[in-house]
Amino acid sequence: MARHNLALVIVLCLTLTLVSCGQSPESPAGNNGQNHGEAMDSSFAHTNRLIGETSPYLLQHAHNPVDWYPWGDEALQKAREEDKPIFLSIGYSACHWCHVMERESFENDDIAQVLNEHFIAIKVDREERPDLDEIYMSAVQVLSGSGGWPMSVWLTPDLKPFFGGTYFPPESKYGRPGFKELLLRVAELWQTRREDIEEDAGRLSAEVAKMGALTAEGGKAPELEVFNQAVVQLQSRYDARLGGFGTAPKFPHSLDIELLLQHYVLSGDAQSAEAARGSLEAMCQGGIYDHLGGGFARYSTDAGWQVPHFEKMLYDNALIAKCLVDAHLVFGSEGKVDFRFYAEQTLDWVLRDMTSAEGVFFSAYDADSEGVEGKFYVWTPGEIEAVLGKQDAELFCEVYTVTEEGNFEEKNTLHISKPLAETAHEHGMERAKLATFLAGARAKLLEKRAERVPPGLDDKAIVAWNALMIRTLAHAGVVFERPDYLQAARSAADFIVARFGRGEGRLHRTFRAGEARNPAAADDYGLLLEALIELYEASFELRYLREARGLASVLLRDFHDVENGGFYYAAADVENLYLRPKKAMDNVLPSGNSAALHALFRLGRLLDDSALLDIVDSSLVAYSDALARFGHAFPVLLQIVEARHRPREIAVVGTSGEAATEALLAVVRRQAPGSSVLAFLPASGDERAAALELIPWLEGRGLVEGRPAVYICEDFKCLAPLTDPAAVRAALQRQP
């Protein structure tokens, strides 16, 4: 029998075009929901094993006729005992095409019968188990060159993938094989060509394992030139006309923007400033932003930011809001967009609509409402006129580009096509007066929108995503003098520390319905560690540094690849993984490697811990070749590279609460984003001794002639202590 090189896919189907969640094929499938209610009614006769789960995504499938199992010993043992292949379906609750595949295929009795007879069907929430998602998404990408959700993967009983894709229609169309036909073909091949399948599974598994392999042998620490080359690559992808990077669909690229802002502050590079500012302005004015309720959608389906994919994710809003706070610090409030306004509107939405009674943050809002994508968010001119009246509606529609033709299925997403100052001038109004009018109109429309059926809410809390929001809220709290933001960050962090533990310092990843579940991954530990550092720098409460130090020890114990450098994504004690994923490239979120290394880098500098910094340096050496070749794919590691070459440490000595000390802190906390770490040393007392014990580099620093002082060290040298706020401001604004 002829052997094939990862090519059983050719036997299974000749053409397979993968589609990521929310990116529609050229078909009406996304709106094919007319029989959804009937299917749901009949499917409620069934209850499968997902009924005992807490994930909203898994519970959505608990009444499918498919005999779903959650990932775990019961399902995997059954696959081994019955010698059946596993059909693994991975998605998440806010995924539009996951819903489409459910109602088309998983609620279909005929398809369910085929699945139940020939496979062990396992459903996984990718947000609960990102380790599984990373392993099997890598396999799909090796097979096809791309991926997305819903993810459909076929595994051997020993968990090795041998075929995979994303969305499949129930019957062959759109150039895709029908799901039922595909299931029957896989079942036949499992019986007739088992040896080929096993061989392909072995080859594919080896390819996936190579994706995380690296070695530090013969390498050297990346030079600043590696960083500069990556910035040039990133700048070349900037769309100077429409903002953002690349073409449609356009994603926020928050990590890239954060990198560009840091680079501008440290180097003064004007192109970095333009790309960061222009991208944020386009997003704030575009339809990706919810102009009534606040918050950003997942991405824009078009290059001009008009029509979003309407799901709203916690992590996107945490990352974008952080960029907006930093942009406010860098550029101020003058110009095309008031970055503070959009940052506060987004964070206020999170506190209003995305915060649980326990103080942690929910995960996502669905794209769909009543089975229709975007229905909750779009408007016609007539609907707006019914709320605002004819005259006010005309001005509102002009500002937010609402037309009779519409831009989304004969309705309109709200987006601003020209600067408000220009519209105000055309109407003989002051900009402030126009802004006041729009605020009132938005409030009325938001109240009216509240009468609509809202999108589904995924109300589980995820450590990594919460950590990103904690970091942003703590940062915004001090920059904008919003104690409610800082308190929200404290509450979320304190709840996670108190309720997410699973023994020996380890964390669970998710929390819902009073229960913490699932092993935390490297990004959970790394991002929470960084959030605790941000909380310390915002509040100077030493308990956050102590907690961060404890998390760092767990991160090193359970995730560090001591031999080769870097960090595994899954802890050593996580069961039922055929390999431990390890990948450093960032995507929408920092990778587990990036999150761990950036947090350890900041903590090592704050605590003056050379052992932590040595671990970071050795890992950067291990990744030096990848950074040299594909630097733009590692924005978080690149932040470390630049900060390693342009470090800045700031210490403030004084008495908390005293006017002179607070005046210095106000200046320091409003510094533009860069590569700084910040510590506070009380002038006297027990807290001073405790701070010196944790942060030894503060030794020798004190008041200057009885006055509070700021100590700045940058580029491996220290300045004379400063006691005047204006002098501190000038020193911090000076480019290295």
pLDDT value at position 11?
47
The number of folded domains in the chain is 4
Nearest to 374 by CA among 318, 439, 298: 298
Select from 155, 181, 210 the last residue of a domain. Answer: 210
Euclidean distance between CA atoms 491 and 209, whole angstroms: 40
Q: From residue 248, give the alpha-carbon distance in Å to each of 237, 302, 303, 304, 682.
A: 13, 5, 5, 8, 52
Euclidean distance between CA atoms 467 and 526, whole angstroms: 9
Give the DSSP letter string of 226-291.
HHHHHHHHHHHTB-TTT-SBSSSSB---HHHHHHHHHHHHHH--HHHHHHHHHHHHHHHHSTTB-T
Instruction: Please tell me whether residues 389 and 351 are part of one structural domain.
Output: no
Euclidean distance between CA atoms 677 and 695, whole angstroms: 12
Euclidean distance between CA atoms 293 and 262, whole angstroms: 30
Instruction: Please tell me whether residues 166 and 202 are part of one structural domain.
Output: yes
| 329 within domain boundaries | yes
Residue 558 maps to which CATH number?
1.50.10.10
153 membership: H or E segment, kind and range: strand 151-155
Nearest to 23 by CA among 259, 418, 307, 345: 307
Q: Which two tokens stand for residue 109?
A: 């009795």
State the pairing for strand pair 161-165/120-125.
Answer: unpaired
Three-state secondary-structure class, residue 727: helix
Range of the domain at 422: 377-451
| 219 within domain boundaries | no
Residue 718 maps to which CATH number?
3.40.30
Residue 548, phi then psi, degrees to nearest 5: -65, -40
Select from 402, 427, 451 the last residue of a domain. Answer: 451
Q: Per the confidence metrics, is the pTM higher than 0.85?
A: yes
Instruction: Please tell me whether residues 308 and 404 are part of one structural domain.
Output: no
Instruction: Please tell me whether residues 337 and 472 are part of one structural domain.
Output: yes
Euclidean distance between CA atoms 507 and 71, whole angstroms: 19
Instruction: Please tell me whether residues 329 and 402 are part of one structural domain.
Output: no
Euclidean distance between CA atoms 524 and 468, whole angstroms: 10
Nearest to 361 by CA among 414, 431, 312, 403: 312
379 pairs with which residues across the strands?
412
Instruction: Please tell me whether residues 641 and 662 are part of one structural domain.
Output: no
| 215 within domain boundaries | no
Instruction: Please tell me whether residues 625 and 711 are part of one structural domain.
Output: no
Instruction: Please tell me whether residues 467 and 609 are part of one structural domain.
Output: yes
Euclidean distance between CA atoms 414 and 305, whole angstroms: 11
DSSP 709: E
- In tens, the pLDDT along 313-360 reads 999 999 999 999 999 999 987 778 999 999 999 999 999 999 999 999
150: cis peptide before it, omega within 30°?
yes
Select from 597, 618, 645 the last residue of a domain. Answer: 645
Euclidean distance between CA atoms 110 and 363, whole angstroms: 34
Strands annotated E in 456-514: 457-458, 461-462, 508-512
308 pairs with which residues across the strands?
300
Residues (pLDDT < 70) of the chain are 1-45, 212-218, 734-736
| 218 within domain boundaries | no
Residue 39 maps to which CATH number?
3.40.30.10
| 169 within domain boundaries | yes
Where residue 563 falls (left for φ over 0; alpha for ψ -120 to 50; beta otherwise) is: alpha
Euclidean distance between CA atoms 325 and 480, whole angstroms: 9
Q: Which two tokens stand for residue 450?
A: 């509240």
| 710 within domain boundaries | yes
First to last CA, the chain: 66
Instruction: Please tell me whether residues 330 and 434 are part of one structural domain.
Output: no
Q: Which two tokens stand for residue 658?
A: 């005293």
Helices 270-285 and 224-236: crossing angle, nearest 10°? 40
pLDDT value at position 7?
46
Q: From residue 641, give the alpha-carbon distance in Å to each of 470, 635, 637, 675.
A: 25, 10, 6, 10
Instruction: Please tell me whether residues 444 and 477 are part of one structural domain.
Output: no
Instruction: Please tell me whether residues 235 and 196 are part of one structural domain.
Output: no
Instruction: Please tell me whether residues 546 and 668 are part of one structural domain.
Output: no
| 548 within domain boundaries | yes
| CB-based contact 245:234 (threshold 8 Å) | yes
Give the DSSP letter string of 425-472.
HHTT--HHHHHHHHHHHHHHHHHHHTTSPPPPEE--EEHHHHHHHHHH
| 420 within domain boundaries | yes
